[in-house]
Amino acid sequence: MGNLHVQRADALGNAQKWGSLGADREGIHASRKVIVTTEKVVDPDVIRRDPNLTLIPGFRVSAVVEQPWGAYPVHLSGCYNGDIWGFMRETKDKEGLDRYLEAFVHSVGDWREFLDKRRALKGDDHFKRLKIKGPVVSEPIVTGY
């Protein structure tokens, strides 16, 4: 089963992502079942307005879950910067990785608890500092018939 985190998806599973994709396409196409987590579930009309951003069509998706900060600690284009360097500092050796896994993976009940623990460690404004400031909107692309 594959998992894909995107900026937006509709409830039918049509998922759109932009920015760096890494190996997302390869990963989801290698999976028989895909769960999409998304920053925001949007109306299908939003998806239809720019179909070129659709990374996976809904018929390939088993479930859609709205989960803000779902890509953290890596970045998500247009949404937030990552804290990958902080993650790497914390997990630079076996002992650090073991501490991280115990504190932030094995001993949390859900993603919200994980984020709360990260906020407690990094400070109340940690996620606010990572939010995109001064967003730049792309030029609209004309589509239609």
Asked if 57 and 116 count as a contact pair (C-beta separation under 8 A), the reply is no
Secondary structure letter of residue 62 according to DSSP: E
pLDDT tens for 26-53 read 888 888 899 999 999 999 999 999 999 9
Q: Which residues fall within 8 angstroms of residue 96, CB to CB, at 6 or more apart?
A: 89, 90
pTM of the model: 0.87
Other CB atoms within a 10 A radius of the CB of residue 53 amount to 16
Where residue 13 falls (left for φ over 0; alpha for ψ -120 to 50; beta otherwise) is left
Question: Can you give the pLDDT at residue 138?
Answer: 80
Domain-by-domain residue ranges, the chain?
1-67, 76-133
